[in-house]
Structures are given as C-alpha cells and as structure tokens.
A and B are shown apart, each in its own frame.
Chain A
C-alpha cells in the first residue's frame, strides 16, 4: 500500500467519524465541531488529489466561514431549542434503512463502473484559473452577483423588525394598494 492510500484511509475515516458525529451528537455545538472535522479532512482529501486550490477554498469557505456562521447562529438563537432532539423512532428507522439501501445501491454500482483509471496527479491551480477566467467567466461573474444578492437577502431577513419603513412599510403599502384595487 502506498502512503497515499494510508493517508486516504486516515482522512476518510476522520471524515466519516465527523459526519456520524454531526448527525448523532446530542448538543449542536458538538455537531458543528464534528462537521468541522469532516470539512477539514475533505480539504486534506483534495490535497491528496493534487487540488491545492480546492483544498485552500474548502478551508476558507467551509472550515472558516460556514462553521463560524453556524456557531454564531447557535449563539444568537434560543439555547434550549438548540439541543432539540431527534425525530420519532419510526422515522429514524425508516430513514436509516433508506440510507443504508441507497448506499448499498450506489456502492455496488460504483464498484462495477469502469472508471478506475489509476492515479493521475496534476497541480491544477493554473488550469483552474485558466478555465474560470476564460470559458466560465460569465458564470463566474454571475456567481458573484448571486453571492451579493444572497448577502442583501440575509441582511433583510435577519434585521430586527423594530427599524421602521425599511422592511415593514413596502409590505403594508402593498397590502393597502391591493385593498384599493379590490
């Protein structure tokens, strides 16, 4: 076994353990921390594939921003509800069974696939940049727009309602006008 495979198993097991911790941990803080373990090991897996840039992005976006955001929400919302438990036994069993079956189907299908084409490693940061800024430059700009809109949307949604005539009044005006026409 080459060292790559050993590292793959180490990180893969950490990722799986983190994922299982995410769905089973009783407290949400621990769930978020398990998610972090998974995200970091996925970053390590990107490195194993030779995709350093993706690994760095995974660290920045997921390991940094998403986790911290989740922790902030945890902090801002009601702590009693944060430890909200689990659905009923019937649902858990049904969902668990479905997921096991799904995994079995997927893995058998994958094992029979003819994709196993051996190790190819390239340092693709440069080719990634080339393709992002040439063929996919329009989607790239649009992605920026999507982020901006999402940001504004998030601000509008999370704003306190006691700041008048910014969020509340267009709705009420809308209601008024609707009433007039009717």
Chain B
C-alpha cells in the first residue's frame, strides 16, 4: 500500500468538517478565529497534495499555499485585533451575545 493522493484529500476533508463544526458551535470569538485557521489549513493541505501529485514539475499549487498563508496571517492579525477592541469597548468576546446585527 503506497501513500496516495486520496489519503491527503480525505484527511483534509475531515479537518475541514471539524473546522466548520467548530466555527458553528463555539461561543468564544477566539475559538471561531482559530477554527477558521484549521479550515484554511485543510484547504492548504489539499492544494499542496494536488501540487505534489498532479503537477509536481510546476509548483503552482504550492505557490497558492504560500499566498493562502499570507492571507491567513493577515486575517488572523486583523481578527485578533478586532477581538481585543471588542473586548475593550464592550466586554464581549462571546460571539453569540453579539447580536446587534439584528434588523
């Protein structure tokens, strides 16, 4: 039995689903943010696996992973700054009590 592409894809799918579950059910904003990181990691794993198995000569997928990492870093920086600000201004970091979007 050799290590194939499907191994990575199914693992990534599992991580993705766990990440979605975390985003949907966590009350803490911080946990939501790091669950999003988990989802992005699953996506990265997919891209890297396709890159290594399907087009190994041209590292297109791998370069996308790099861009995704940049975006993820930017996202996590901003999201965490938002959490700090929210915490300072309204003592809220439990996400379900933020329901000011109610119309």
Chain A contact residues, CB within 8 Å of chain B: 1-2, 4-5, 8, 12, 15-16, 19-20, 22-23, 28, 31-32, 35, 38-39, 42, 45-46, 48-51, 53-54, 57-58, 61-62, 65-66, 69-70, 72-74, 76-78, 81-87, 91-92, 95-96, 98-100, 102-103, 106-107, 110-111, 113, 115-122, 124, 127-128, 130-132, 136, 139-140, 143-144, 146-147, 149-151, 153-155, 157-158, 160-161
A85 to B28, CA, bound (A): 7
| Chain B, range 22-52, C-beta contacts under 8 Å to A | 22, 24-28, 30-31, 33-35, 37-38, 41, 44-45, 48-49, 51-52
In the assembled complex, how far is the CB of residue A73 from the closest CB belonging to chain B, in whole angstroms?
A: 5
Contacts of A99 in B (CB 8 A): 17-18, 20-21, 24
Residues of A within 8 A of B83 (CB): 73, 77
Q: How far is the CB of A13 from chain B (nearest CB, A)?
A: 9
A selection of 19 A-B contacts at a CB cut-off of 8 Å is A23-B26, A23-B31, A31-B31, A31-B34, A45-B8, A51-B48, A58-B44, A73-B83, A91-B24, A106-B17, A115-B53, A118-B4, A120-B52, A120-B53, A124-B52, A124-B56, A132-B63, A139-B67, A153-B81
